[in-house]
Structure 1
Amino acid sequence: MSLGEFDLIARYFGRPTRRAALGPGDDCALLALRPGMQLAVSCDMLVEGRHFLPTVDPRRLGHKALAVNLSDLAACGAQPLACTLALALPRVDEAWLDGFSAGLYELADAHGCELIGGDTTAGPLNICITVFGEVPAGEALLRSSAEPDDEIWVSHAIGGGIGDARLALEAFRGQVSLPGAVFERVRRAMEQPQPRVALGLALRGVARAAVDVSDGLLGDLSHLLHRSDVGASIDVGRVPRSADLAAQPLALQRLCTLAGGDDYELVFTAPPAAHARVLEAARGADVAVSRIGRIEHEAGLRLVDADGQAVDRVWASFDHFSA
């Protein structure tokens, strides 16, 4: 007999909460914040065929569904507290639910983020997670706080870079052929991104402004520049890339690193005087950071190469309604 809605919730998503005052099973969940803390809230939706392929492993999908939301908390410098899950399923597939819930809970446990409620319904596969975090009042990292002369940094895995997720997408599209081991590595980057929560927390009081890289480095950085009413210059040669991506033609490297999306790294600004503290924060979070440019008074985003020569901006980041 197929599971009903409430049996499905109880079996796969009904784990008792520890920190929340009230979790799944009532009309509302209850969260108690510590004095002097602000609540950070973010919501992201993943739609099959738009955000992930039908062939993705459900465990990886459970991971990614939560990771993209935790990445928003990281960009704000917020400590994860809890999340809700709204899930539309075309049918009840218990093997799929086993994998999906396991991947979600594994990442949730790693960041102390409790599942406290949500909804399920029948329909095309659609995953919507809302995350809640806390940050000391006045200490949140914002998109609107960059200042001229700030250094621009981007996070990445130690020994790696950004753009591997887009390289995997190009392989799926048949635009590039990759050896099996390389394809699996970049596919993992696309399907199991690592939210930089620890780095976001370490950057409070160090960085001025931050945004996570979800739709592409240039596009997401442009949002920060617009909100801060500043411009920037980026040295495209300093943008970090993995050895696998560096082995590709230069045009593909730049497409993947500058406009690829799905990286879920942090791009942030900090005053030059905080340079050593930025590196210290990264070491403490066990992640690498690379300085890729500088904030400027003049509006706009300018790209230069290692010789300081202008590079035409011919790449556009992802947009749901123009892609």
Structure 2
Amino acid sequence: MGEFELIARYFTRPVPAPAPGPAGRVVLGVGDDCALLAPAPGMQLAISSDMLVEGRHFFADVAPERLGHKALAVNLSDLAACGARPLAFTLALALPEADEDWLAGFARGLFALADAHGCALVGGDTTQGPRNLSITVLGEVPAGQALLRSGARPGDDVYVSGTLGDAALALAALQGRLPAHWRLPPTVLAAARARLEQPTPRVALGLALRGVASSAIDVSDGLLGDLGHILQASGVGACIDCSVTTLLIAAYAELSSASGLFDSEFDPATDGEFLRRCTLAGGDDYELLFTTAPARRAAVAAAALSSATPVTRIGRIEAQPGLRLVDGKGRPVPARYASFDHFAASSAGAASNPQEAPGK
């Protein structure tokens, strides 16, 4: 199967007839040298690119349907953090071979998520080489309403959506990096691995937070690392309650209370520390981290309800630059958690381990 047959068979779809809404903005899709889009009056385009490389961002044996989902999900998560509605995307694929079963599964996962968000594939490229997936996504947001990293102000609440740390737990289990006395049950691993391989982009929440959040970012490289981008862009600091963030790992209740999961009793000091590392620096969560003024708490609750997305208040923004971590009693917790960095990891000799967190 040649390149153009591959594109025609798996990635060419008819452009729908013009209609109100984002789908109607695509005038010409796959098939020409360029796609044609018609921006709506008063709207700005939001554009983001991410690359997934086999052996760095995903394991070679990951199900292709899940990989198709994730390849687009990580980009949609960026649109969510900007408060933008998905419009279209391009796909560049490097593949070692034209495996028809793999391509069919990848396309199913990709288009299932694309269709769920009304996001059309409008172009891209294919070539032969080590498996590498690169997507550029385009969204639209009313002019002046985009959520940015630079709007956090002293006194703002800090929130995060959904759960944190389950993807990191799965990655640690798959790489054999769990604490030695842990025996992770298959059901817990399966649920955590689903979070690793099929993240949920919080697009609906991002749209609902327009005009509510003062700043936002998606959590891809770890909560503290991504919060650091907001703090730097906004020129502020923050205090985060680690007793709250640790509870955000979905597996926590089962891990800390069920019998038979450990060779010894659950130790809040050592085992809790591992879970805290997962939630604070694990990455690959693709949740939204955002700030709002305390007066907007009711609006945040309404946004969470309308988007069917749980949110949790985890701290506050402070005027003094820097990041402080505290426990449930307000006592300092050493800030020794580093989020993932591709080039730092490579220089430290970690390049052979898949790291499921596309760097910003």
State the TM-score, normalized to the length of structure 2.
0.87
Higher alpha-carbon deviation: 177-186 or 57-66: 177-186
- Whether the 8 Å contact between 2:249 and 2:279 is mirrored in structure 1 is no
Matches within 5 A, 1:253-292: 253-292=275-314
Unaligned runs of at least 5 residues, structure 1: none
Show the counterpart of 1:36: 42
Matches within 5 A, 1:88-107: 88-107=94-113
Whole-Å separation in 2 of the counterparts to 1:243 and 1:112: 29
Query: Could you tell me how far 1:173 is from its partner in structure 2?
Result: 1.2
SS at match of 1:100: helix
SS at match of 1:321: helix
- Whether the 8 Å contact between 2:249 and 2:275 is mirrored in structure 1 is no
- Whether 1:46 aligns to 2:52 is yes
Show the counterpart of 2:29: 23
Matches within 5 A, 1:64-143: 64-143=70-149
Q: Structure 1 pair 111/169, CA: closer, same or farther in 2 (3 Å)?
A: same
- Whether the 8 Å contact between 2:166 and 2:250 is mirrored in structure 1 is no
Alignment match of 2:316 (pick from 294, 305, 311):
294
Amino acid at match of 1:211: I
- Whether the 8 Å contact between 1:17 and 1:115 is mirrored in structure 2 is no
Matches within 5 A, 1:186-197: 186-197=192-203
Show the counterpart of 2:248: 241
SS at match of 1:115: strand
Amino acid at match of 2:110: L
Query: Could you tell me how far 1:175 is from its partner in structure 2?
Result: 2.3
Q: In percent, how many aligned pairs have the same letter?
A: 64
Write the deviation string for residues 85-106 of structure 1: whole angstroms up to 9, x where unpaired.
0000000100000000000000
Unaligned runs of at least 5 residues, structure 2: 17-23, 257-270, 346-360
Show the counterpart of 1:213: 219
Show the counterpart of 2:259: none
SS at match of 1:204: coil
Whole-Å separation in 1 of the counterparts to 2:188 and 2:64: 21
Write the deviation string for residues 27-49 of structure 1: whole angstroms up to 9, x where unpaired.
10011111000000000000000
- Whether the 8 Å contact between 1:76 and 1:140 is mirrored in structure 2 is yes
SS at match of 2:176: coil
SS at match of 2:344: coil
- Whether the 8 Å contact between 1:164 and 1:245 is mirrored in structure 2 is no
Alignment match of 2:326 (pick from 295, 300, 304):
304
- Whether the 8 Å contact between 1:74 and 1:200 is mirrored in structure 2 is yes
SS at match of 1:263: coil
- Whether the 8 Å contact between 1:163 and 1:245 is mirrored in structure 2 is no
Alignment match of 2:161 (pick from 155, 159, 170):
155
Show the counterpart of 1:165: 167
Alignment match of 1:8 (pick from 6, 9, 26):
6
Whole-Å separation in 2 of the counterparts to 1:254 and 1:181: 21
Q: Structure 1 pair 223/78, CA: closer, same or farther in 2 (3 Å)?
A: same
- Whether the 8 Å contact between 1:167 and 1:245 is mirrored in structure 2 is no
Query: Could you tell me how far 1:243 is from its partner in structure 2?
Result: 4.6
SS at match of 2:343: coil
State the TM-score, normalized to the length of structure 1.
0.97
Amino acid at match of 2:12: G
Query: Could you tell me how far 1:314 is from its partner in structure 2?
Result: 1.2
State the superposition RMSD in angstroms: 0.9
Aligned residue pairs total 317
Query: Could you tell me how far 1:315 is from its partner in structure 2?
Result: 1.1
Higher alpha-carbon deviation: 243-252 or 176-185: 243-252
